[in-house]
Chain A
Amino acid sequence: QVQLVESGGGVVQPGRSLRLSCAASGFTFSSYGMHWVRQAPGKGLEWVAVIWYDGSNKYYADSVKGRFTISRDNSKNTLYLQMNSLRAEDTAVYYCARDRSPHIVVVTALDGMDVWGQGTTVTVSS
């Protein structure tokens, strides 16, 4: 079945780095754009980043631009989020999600997120 499984979360000190992974299965991973979305404790959903199906383009929320990097390895069906210079306000559950339509190459054509992982928790604390 179609599935996304995140891993790599944990407790990290401010200023340090962490890399999250999202393993995809049950669909043609290389055809779909992929998102990272986070949710701070007791707060709403916050979009973090998106990467096109072929990795050719990436977009970030202003809150993480310059610190986080989204990437993918289509040969391994895996999405990544490299998080550097972590701050307390980055503490959240991080979800990966699939964009609903394949082969999208324009931000305005992004078509919602129809498959979500279960999330991995990142806690930034000294």
Chain B
Amino acid sequence: IAGITQAPTSQILAAGRRMTLRCTQDMRHNAMYWYRQDLGLGLRLIHYSNTAGTTGKGEVPDGYSVSRANTDDFPLTLASAVPSQTSVYFCASSGGDGRNEQFFGPGTRLTVL
């Protein structure tokens, strides 16, 4: 089934621990994105990648890093988690090159204690 998968579905993490959220798409989309969604704040862009091998910072990048080694995968890493990173994280992708519709994964619910 074509689409975006995210793992884990949910996670409880101790503050200070390192965590990588995984995102994989099978639509051969060039562009991928990571958002966080918080009550009252909507979806905010963390990092993005317009094509494999390139990444860029979004609105709220501090405390997060990404890599894009290939077209399909776009992991998000929290090097040292803090409670303010408790959120729901969504990965999205779009075709790029003028194909702007973004398609979202099911999300990862992360709690940092």
**A, B bound:** no
Residue ranges of A at the interface with B (Cβ–Cβ < 8 Å): none
